[in-house]
């Protein structure tokens, strides 16, 4: 059903991360430097851990782009894991000789049996019948979100053709709402071997009215955005516009009154509690999304858990982790929202080339007022 869709593959300490994208029309300019800047933004943020000092995420486009322009063919991209060179034996794709004591030691050293509360470890090991939780951790790791940011950057290249603008900002870390207080709280959590979550806002501007639809449950754009954002590891809540505040507001204070600007032949609202979506469709106002991320479950001071081999009580596994990754999550959130909006654009306007998409878009916009 999706017009713009993608799959990713790759493990946290495997050779690389990949994505295959389908549905991007031909003749869209793709700037690899821009994709790399987006990848760098995801690596930053106060509270990130040691892994980010090892990696310098860079995209390599393997197909679907020629001379910097999409051809309409599937786009395949790859991001190398620099850390992989330290994991060639424990993450070997090929069979290894377990009779070799050095190899046995290297594999055993990376085996995990003490599952982390709050991560995919235990349910994943049960579901996939794994005795080494490494086989769950490697793919459930949020490292996978680097691929999504690269795909999102390609969606952003497409959206920019229509004048779409976007931004995100962190609203809250733990119980702090100001930058200095947020940093202090992160420092304190780090000292205590603890982690922190928070909340961020994403805004998309210049989105035309009428993307998404009310006619079927799975066409509603608010549902599609919420699903995409909830699919980011550690995200626990997504709000659109006034979001959770709506529970306390009466109808007269919830809904945004409608006006008409005769000079510009345009409908508008003075408030945006709807967050740019009414009836599962964009209404022409800014798309405003608020996302809540829980604290990362890998902690230097681990919680009580169980060793799945011995069934005895143990502190959960700790390898290396971020104290706080809310800033990074906001960049992933922008990427996921861009992917959904690019899909909704293509659903509405179609087109196998950007010229065709633009012709359809311009015809539609002419009649909107």
Residue 108 vs 320, nearer CB to ligand EPS: 320
CB of 124 to ligand EPS, least distance (A): 12
E strand or H helix that includes residue 59? strand 59-63
Distance of alpha carbon 159 from alpha carbon 192, whole angstroms: 43
Residues of the shown chain interacting with ligand EPS in the complex, contacts defined by CB under 6 A: 12, 49, 51, 83, 141-143, 145-146, 233, 296, 298, 320-321
What three-state secondary structure class fits 155? helix
Residue 27 vs 140, nearer CB to ligand EPS: 140
> In sequence order, what are the residues at sequence separation of 6 or more whose Cβ sits closer than 8 angstroms to the Cβ of residue 191?
none
Residue 86 vs 192, nearer CB to ligand EPS: 86
Burial 253-264 (b: 16+ CB within 10 A, else e): ebebeeeeeeee
Neighbouring-strand partners of residue 127? none
CB of 159 to ligand EPS, least distance (A): 24
CB of 273 to ligand EPS, least distance (A): 33
CB of 188 to ligand EPS, least distance (A): 20
Report helix angle 32-43 to 145-160, nearest 10: 130
Distance of alpha carbon 207 from alpha carbon 227, whole angstroms: 19
CB of 298 to ligand EPS, least distance (A): 5
Residue 20 vs 79, nearer CB to ligand EPS: 79
Residue 51 vs 114, nearer CB to ligand EPS: 51
| Residue whose C-alpha is closest to residue 161's, from 68, 286, 27, 21 | 27
């Amino acid at each position: 059903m999706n017009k713009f869709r993608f799959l990713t593959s790759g493990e946290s300490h495997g050779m690389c991360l990949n994505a295959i994208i389908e549905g991007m029309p031909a003749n869209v300019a793709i700037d690899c430097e821009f994709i790399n800047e987006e990848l760098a933004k995801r690596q930053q943020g106060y509270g990130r851990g040691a892994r980010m000092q090892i990696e310098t995420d860079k995209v390599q486009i393997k197909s679907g782009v020629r001379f910097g322009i999409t051809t309409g063919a599937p786009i395949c991209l790859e991001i190398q894991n620099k850390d992989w060179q330290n994991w060639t034996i424990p993450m070997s794709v090929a069979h290894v000789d377990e009779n070799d004591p050095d190899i046995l030691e290297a594999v055993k050293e990376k085996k995990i049996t003490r599952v982390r509360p709050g991560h995919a470890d235990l349910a994943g090991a049960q579901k996939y019948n794994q005795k080494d939780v490494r086989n769950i951790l490697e793919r459930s790791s949020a490292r996978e979100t680097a691929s999504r940011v690269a795909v999102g950057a390609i969606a952003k290249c497409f959206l920019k053709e229509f004048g779409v603008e976007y931004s995100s900002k962190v609203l809250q870390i733990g119980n702090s709402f100001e930058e200095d207080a947020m940093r202090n709280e992160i420092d304190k959590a780090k000292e205590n071997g603890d982690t922190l979550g928070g909340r961020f806002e994403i805004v998309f501007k210049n989105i035309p009215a009428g993307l998404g639809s009310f006619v079927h449950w799975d066409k509603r754009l608010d549902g599609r955005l919420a699903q995409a954002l909830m699919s980011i590891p550690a995200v626990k809540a997504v709000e659109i516009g006034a979001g959770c505040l709506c529970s306390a507001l009466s109808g007269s204070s919830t809904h945004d009154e409608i006006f008409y600007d005769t000079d510009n032949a345009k409908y508008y609202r003075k408030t945006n509690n709807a967050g740019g979506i009414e009836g599962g469709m964009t209404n022409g106002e800014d798309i405003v999304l608020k996302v809540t991320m829980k604290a990362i479950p890998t902690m230097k001071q681990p919680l009580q858990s169980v060793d799945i081999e011995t069934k005895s009580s143990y502190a959960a596994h700790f390898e290396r982790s971020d104290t706080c990754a809310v800033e990074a999550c906001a960049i992933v959130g922008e990427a996921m929202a861009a992917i959904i909006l690019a899909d909704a654009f293509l659903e509405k306007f179609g087109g196998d080339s950007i010229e065709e998409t633009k012709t359809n878009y311009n015809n539609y916009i002419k009649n909107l007022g």
